[in-house]
């Protein structure tokens, strides 16, 4: 690949060097934020032969270049700009160009994504415990208690982690947010899981003649996000009125006191109910007869990815894990990916042009590790009904998920890495691989039969 020539073609399609506000790259894509989006010639961008595709999403113009190549193209772009490219404010620049809904989803992603390693680890430990029990290993009560510590702590104290992450996102004092998060799961409050299972009653507190039922916020997401934001908001605004000489004592005192009061007696129960309602709706959809909910989600999940709204699904996945202990959306999401992957690989095998064939394979490979945007925008959406064939494959994978009763023990990883979330038994691993194979094969065969690239 001639990296300098590729950069020149990219610059011609976006209105030149002077139109670049900021730039960065990920594993497969060059991402540009422009000063004037009206100067972009999207048709010309999509016709650049040395890249796999172009699309605009979340305020960013994204050129799919491929692993191992994109970093060289980025360095070439830096040279073209005279070496002056500071992408430290890239997220802020991209955020400014987003719609309101995109900003909400991006904010949720920025808060929840840092938590994924902890939640993935918890899921793997749950799978390990399940595998050992399935293999006939006998645990003493003390050993089971230790395993419960490993698998349950992250969810029991999830509001603490989320409040901390949210406070960092909104520029607040993370330590104060941690304290508020700890108060939300304090042992003095009835445990939310115990109350939900009927083992305890909410604590009734009389305030101004009104009885408020209080429970803990174990495993909840939205109240903790609100806590992180509200702590940041309070702290920032209180400092406008509190003298600097009194700031060290009075600002944290008032911030914690007011925040906990508002959460326990105001927005906390409301947000908790909204979150439980959303999770219940998803569970109702998945409980539809004949696996209809599974089929629809398996077909449509990658449509959600195209809009960029998939980051918000993390709230639902956490809710499902919190309430049921398993996550059926993980295999369904993987089924949807596998369907699109099968369709894209079929396209690659049909292409005669070596450059196009190579670009199609390159754009598809990141799907194996859960990144599908290069495949979607670089291949499937460019060839008519190919995306629809991928959806059919995802639907078949969804049906297989329903029939086999496949669910993950965690979240955050999909496709090949997602196998680790099924380590509780060989049967679970085989079932997960069967979901992938069924979705891939269906989409691959349909695409090959239709042959959308006869003239390519």
pLDDT bin (cut points 50, 70, 90) of residue 92 is: confident
Is residue 106 within 8 Å of residue 95, measured between CB atoms? yes
Q: Mind listing the pLDDT tens digit for each residue in 114-172?
A: 988 888 888 888 888 888 877 788 888 888 888 888 888 888 899 999 999 999 999 99
- Give the residue from 305, 330, 334, 333 showing the smallest Cα distance to 320: 330
235: tokens are: 């702290």
Does 87 score more than 80 pLDDT? no
Q: How far apart are CA 266 and CA 237, in angstroms?
A: 20
The rounded percent of the chain whose pLDDT value lies above 70 is: 98
Annotated catalytic residue 26: yes
As a whole number, mean pLDDT of residues 352-358 equals 86
Mean pLDDT, the chain, rounded, equals 89
Catalytic residue among 1, 26, 306, 429: 26
Does 456 score more than 60 pLDDT? no
Say how many residues make up the chain: 456
pLDDT bin (cut points 50, 70, 90) of residue 283 is: very high
Torsional class of 325: left (φ above 0), alpha (ψ -120 to 50), beta (otherwise): left
pLDDT bin (cut points 50, 70, 90) of residue 455 is: low
pLDDT at position 113, please? 87
Q: How far apart are CA 296 and CA 293, in angstroms?
A: 5
pLDDT at position 85, please? 62
Does 212 score more than 90 pLDDT? no
Q: How many CB atoms lie within 10 A of CB 381?
A: 16
- Taking CA atoms, 135 is separated from 128, 422, 427, in Å, by 11, 14, 12
Torsional class of 427: left (φ above 0), alpha (ψ -120 to 50), beta (otherwise): alpha
pLDDT bin (cut points 50, 70, 90) of residue 96 is: confident
Q: How far apart are CA 253 and CA 261, in angstroms?
A: 12
Q: How far apart are CA 445 and CA 451, in angstroms?
A: 10
pLDDT at position 86, please? 61
Q: What is the CA radius of gyration of the chain?
A: 25
Query: Crossing angle of helices 329-350/313-324, nearest 10°?
Result: 130
Q: ∠ at Cα 409 (427, 375), nearest 5°?
A: 90
pLDDT at position 88, please? 59
Q: Mind listing the pLDDT tens digit for each residue in 392-427?
A: 999 999 999 999 999 999 998 999 999 999 988 899
Among 170-174, 269-273, 310-314, which stretch is predicted with the lowest mean pLDDT? Answer: 310-314
Instruction: Please indicate whether residue 154 or residue 182 has the higher confidence score (pLDDT).
Output: 182
Among 198-202, 398-402, 403-407, 438-442, which stretch is predicted with the lowest mean pLDDT? Answer: 198-202
Q: How far apart are CA 127 and CA 425, in angstroms?
A: 8
pLDDT at position 175, please? 95
**Which range in 45-59, 84-98, 117-131, 426-440 is most confidently predicted, on average pLDDT?**
426-440
pLDDT at position 225, please? 95
The rounded percent of the chain whose pLDDT value lies above 90 is: 48
pLDDT at position 84, please? 64
pLDDT at position 209, please? 78
pLDDT at position 393, please? 97
């Amino acid at each position: 690949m001639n990296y300098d020539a590729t950069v020149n073609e990219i610059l011609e399609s976006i209105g030149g060097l002077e139109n670049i506000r900021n730039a960065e790259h990920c594993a497969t894509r060059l991402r540009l934020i422009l000063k004037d989006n009206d100067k972009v010639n999207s048709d010309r961008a999509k016709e650049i032969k040395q890249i796999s595709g172009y699309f605009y999403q979340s305020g960013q113009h994204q050129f799919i270049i491929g692993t191992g190549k994109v970093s060289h193209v980025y360095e070439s772009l830096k040279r073209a700009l005279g070496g002056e490219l500071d992408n430290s404010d890239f997220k802020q620049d991209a955020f400014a160009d987003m719609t309101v809904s995109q900003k909400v989803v991006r904010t949720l992603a920025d808060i929840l994504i840092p938590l994924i390693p902890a939640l993935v680890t918890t899921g793997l430990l749950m799978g390990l415990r399940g595998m050992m029990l399935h293999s006939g290993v006998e645990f003493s009560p003390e050993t089971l208690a230790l395993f419960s510590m490993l698998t349950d702590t992250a969810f029991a104290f999830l509001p603490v982690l989320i409040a901390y992450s949210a406070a960092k996102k909104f520029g607040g004092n993370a330590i104060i947010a941690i304290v508020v998060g700890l108060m939300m799961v304090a042992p003095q409050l009835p445990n939310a899981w115990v109350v939900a299972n009927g083992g305890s009653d909410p604590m009734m507190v009389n305030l101004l003649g009104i009885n408020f039922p209080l429970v803990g916020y174990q495993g909840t997401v939205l109240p903790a996000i609100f806590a992180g934001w509200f702590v940041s908001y309070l702290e920032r605004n209180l400092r406008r009125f509190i003298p600097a000489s009194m700031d060290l004592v009075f600002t944290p005192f008032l911030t914690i006191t007011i925040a906990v009061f508002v959460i326990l007696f105001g927005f906390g129960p409301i947000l908790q109910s909204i979150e439980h309602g959303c999770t219940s709706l998803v569970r109702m959809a998945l409980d539809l007869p004949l696996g209809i909910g599974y089929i629809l989600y398996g077909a449509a999940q990658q449509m959600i990815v195209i809009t960029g709204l998939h980051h918000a699904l993390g709230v639902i996945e956490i809710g499902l894990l919190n309430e049921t202990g398993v996550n059926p959306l993980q295999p369904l999401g993987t089924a949807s990916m596998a369907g699109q992957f099968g369709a894209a690989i079929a396209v690659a095998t049909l292409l005669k042009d070596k450059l196009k064939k190579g670009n199609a394979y390159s754009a598809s490979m990141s799907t194996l590790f859960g990144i599908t945007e290069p495949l979607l925008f670089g291949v499937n959406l460019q060839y008519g009904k190919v995306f629809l064939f991928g959806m059919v494959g995802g639907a078949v994978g969804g049906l297989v998920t329903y029939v086999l009763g496949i669910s993950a023990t965690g979240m955050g990883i999909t496709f090949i890495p997602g196998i680790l979330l099924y380590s509780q038994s060989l049967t679970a691993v085989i079932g997960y691989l069967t979901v992938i194979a069924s979705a891939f094969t269906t989409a691959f065969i349909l695409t090959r039969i239709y042959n959308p690239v006869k003239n390519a």
